[in-house]
Amino acid sequence: MLTAVTSITTANTITTMNEPNADFEPVVFRPIGVIRSGHRVAEQTPVQPVYAQGCAGRAEILPAYREGLRDLEGFSHVFLLYHLHRAGTPRLTVQPFIGERPCGVFATRHPQRPNAIGLSLVRLVRAEEALLFLEDLDVLDGTPLLDIKPFVPRFDCVKGARGGWTEVVDETTARQSGQRGFCPQTP
């Protein structure tokens, strides 16, 4: 259980609050659209785009945000940020989908988080009007889309990155657990 939150103010002093979020205003996000996919059952939805190869879908962008899609077609991949609207009650310790032992939620991508925000790096096939056609989509149908950001190789690739506890899970086990009942089509 959280007992204190530390923040650094503009004067570089450290303040400890006894109540989480005591000095923060509520943050409100409004969806910019909806994600459409063939995934309708959470337990059969892959847990990461790498395990969702061949899963096509689309992002339907609300008319008010259509202008923001300009120049996106030059990117091969985009990050989708979305509300995990069916995640359930937040927990600080969770059982990862591909791991054997419980972990702190911030060391996982588990959906039952204090702020139910999901992140997926998916392939952008094409953009047409207010639609983004996507591949390798690991998101439930009807999920509220909060934001889109382009994947930029020069910014987003990190040499020497470490994968923490995920590095001890062999790829066969990770793939079987990560696909969660989804059976990819083989060409």
Where exactly are the structural domains of the chain? 29-153+165-179
Predicted local confidence at residue 24, as pLDDT: 86
Length of the chain equals 187
How confident is the model over 136-150, as pLDDT tens digits?
999 999 999 999 999
Q: Helix, strand, coil proportions of the chain in percent (round to 5)?
A: 20, 30, 50
The CATH architecture that domain 29-153+165-179 belongs to is Beta Barrel (2.40)
Query: ∠ at Cα 105 (80, 52), nearest 5°?
Result: 40
How confident is the model over 15-46, as pLDDT tens digits?
455 566 667 888 999 999 999 999 998 877 78
Query: Do 139 and 35 meet the contact criterion of CB atoms below 8 Å apart?
Result: yes
177 Cβ neighbours under 8 A, 6+ residues apart = 47, 97, 98, 169
Q: At residue 39, what is the residue type?
A: H
Select from 52, 23, 22 the least CA-distant residue to 38: 52
Predicted local confidence at residue 109, as pLDDT: 82
Q: At residue 60, what is the residue type?
A: E
Residues of the chain with pLDDT under 50: 1-15, 185-187
Task: Report residue 99 as tokens.
Answer: 């791991």
Predicted TM-score (pTM) above 0.85: no
Rounded CA Rg of the chain: 18
